[in-house]
Structure formats: structure tokens, C-alpha cells
Amino acid sequence: MEKIVEQGLLYDFYGSLLTRHQQEIYEKVVYENLSLNEIAENEGISKQAVHDLVKRCTAIMRSYEEKLGMIRRFSRIRESAARLKKLASLDAVPDRMAQRLTEIAEEICADLES
């Protein structure tokens, strides 16, 4: 998984478990794309401190994912919904059933996004 995508997913699922200070710094690095130097200057800390904090936060959130597996489950459910949609598009599936399968898949996707 690309590093920035992984960091974004980890933060989306587990960021609320970090302290407010950790969240602020992590958001500046991952979402605002500020350099470590910019953040260090703004926060009055060293570049190394920013680097260490981001690395520590990523490790903490990876640990949560290893234990809880929320991202893994989210991905599997989303893939299953995509398979339902694909199944619904098969010619052998009656129209009424195809429509219902599509509705279910869309409900699942909507629930995952909320």
C-alpha cells in the first residue's frame, strides 16, 4: 500500500484514538502536506520531534489495525459489495433479482461511507 494512502486510511479509522496534539501534527503532515520544517517552525519544536511523532503515530495506528482489523474488514466488505453488483449484471440473473442485488450492494457501500 502506498505510504500516503496507508497513512490516510489509518488516520481515518484510528486517528480519533490519538491525542489532540498528535492529531494536529499528523493532519499537517498527511492532509495539509506541510514539510517537517514548516511544522517544526510553527510548533516551536525540532524537525526530528515532528518526524518521531509522525512515525510513532503511524506505529500506534498500525498496532490498532493489527489488533482490530477495521481497515481489513472494511476492504473485504467493499469488495463483497462490488462482487454483488457484478453478479447482478450477469445475463442469467432475473431482472428483479438483479435490481435487488444492486440495491443491497449500494446500501452496503453507502453504510461504509457514512
| Percent of the chain whose pLDDT exceeds 90 | 68
Q: Is the pLDDT of residue 1 over 70?
A: no
Q: Is the pLDDT of residue 101 over 70?
A: yes
What is the dotted CATH code of the domain comprising 3-68?
1.10.10.10
Q: pLDDT tens digit string along 40-80?
A: 999 999 999 999 999 999 999 999 999 999 999 999 999 99
Q: Is the pLDDT of residue 14 over 90?
A: yes
| SS3 assignment for the chain | CCHHHHHHHHHHHHHHHCCHHHHHHHHHHHCCCCCHHHHHHHHCCCHHHHHHHHHHHHHHHHHHHHHHCHHHHHHHHHHHHHHHHHHHCCCCCCHHHHHHHHHHHHHHHHHHHC
Assessment of whether the complete model's pTM goes beyond 0.95: no
| Percent of the chain whose pLDDT exceeds 70 | 99
